[in-house]
Amino acid sequence: MDMKRRLNNNNNDNNDDDMELRRGPWTVDEDLTLINYIANHGEGRWNSLARSAGLKRTGKSCRLRWLNYLRPDVRRGNITLEEQLLILELHASWGNRWSKIAQYLPGRTDNEIKNYWRTRVQKHAKQLKCDVNSKQFKDTMRFLWMPRLVERIQAAAATVTTAATATSDSPTLSATKSVTIINNNNTTTAYNFDNLNNLEVHSGNIMNMSNNNFGYATPENSSTGTSSDSFVTQDYCNNNNNNVHVGNNNNNNEPSSDYYHQQGNNNNQVSFMDCITSPSSMSLFPHQEMDFQAMELPNTPWINNPSTFSNFWNDENMLLLQNLGCGGDNM
């Protein structure tokens, strides 16, 4: 590959002027070297790690390679509908804070989410002649895009149910899985998956956080948050209720590291986010896993398929867009 050979202007990375640093794509040998070294010595101290491991790479490059690609818990493959929905919601709250958004999509890297946003979302904004940060486009996402995502999730869930029923080894899910989004206007939007994997959407007051909810709060409406990045700090991770929280339970306003661990072990219930994001939990629901992947196949195209995505912007939607002030020349 004829990768560019840019001069390294970053002082922090010129840790060895005499050693020619490699750039560009990583080789299999380099990957193995890095993996083995981290397996034996752990990660961190990336510059010294790179030297000690004998890698002719900057520490920064090693860190990036590890975090974005080699880490065992990196989840690869298409962004699922649920993840798309979550990305849209979280981006509405935080904007381009990719690393923060990525914290709530286990296995996904900030780079991956960023790429998704740039290649999918911004593209559609461009098609609509909207600025991606404009109120018009945000309204479009909220009133058109996200509801349609929910519809598709619901439709796919129905497919799951049908398919599962048709087989003898249908899953015996009993856990109600839900995501509760706390909006900026002190309301909540709950996406509930019932026992039959039907999805219901409820709007309500911020205080109506119920059991089995997967909740997070935006800084503006978090009663206990202490900074602009704060989350609901009450512990939704009470296993007795199978709650899952993406908010933290500390004062650092960072999510709990165990937020996607299996909840409610006493009855084998698994959180919704486990179902959709945790590779380890995928195996518990093989049917769901299969169908979440199938959502991204051409038979259910939407965002991933530009040719059919255009169908989404039908006359009705375009009329609504115009009413919202988007889709025309009003940038």
Partner DNA sequence: AACTTGTCCAACCGCACTGAA
Partner DNA sequence: CTTCAGTGCGGTTGGACAAGT
Contact residues for DNA, defined by CB under 7 A: 1-4, 6-13, 15, 22-26, 44-49, 57-61, 63-65, 68-69, 78, 96-100, 110-112, 114-116, 118-120, 123, 304, 306-307
Q: Which helix (H) or strand (E) holds 177?
A: strand 177-182
Q: Smallest gap, in angstroms, from Cβ of residue 186 to DNA?
A: 25
- Rank residues 23 and 148 by Cβ distance to DNA and give the closer one: 23
Nearer to DNA, 1 or 207 (CB): 1
* Minimum CB–partner distance for residue 297 and DNA (Å): 12
Query: For residues 68 and 330, which CB has a smaller minimum distance to DNA in the complex?
Result: 68
The tokens 């249908």 sit on which residue?
170
Distance in Å, CB of 271 to DNA, minimum: 23
Q: Which residues of 185-209 are buried (b: 16+ CB within 10 A; e: fewer)?
A: eeebbbbbbeeebebeeeeeebeeb
Residue whose CB is less far from DNA, 85 or 173: 85
Give me the residues paired with residue 216 across strands.
Answer: 181
- Rounded to a whole number of angstroms, the minimum distance from the CB of residue 138 to DNA is 16
Record the tokens describing residue 96, joined without a space. 């381009």
| Residue with smaller CB distance to DNA, 87 or 157 | 87
CB 197 within 8 A of CB 236: no
Using alpha carbons, select from 251, 200, 48 the residue that is nearest to residue 235: 251
47 burial type by CB count under 10 A (0-12 exposed, 13-18 middle, 19+ buried)? middle
Task: Round to the nearest angstrom and report the end-to-end CA distance of the chain.
Answer: 40
Element (H, E) at 327: none
The nearer residue to DNA, 102 or 175, going by C-beta atoms, is 102
CB of 293 to DNA, least distance (A): 13
- Least separation in angstroms between CB 284 and DNA: 25
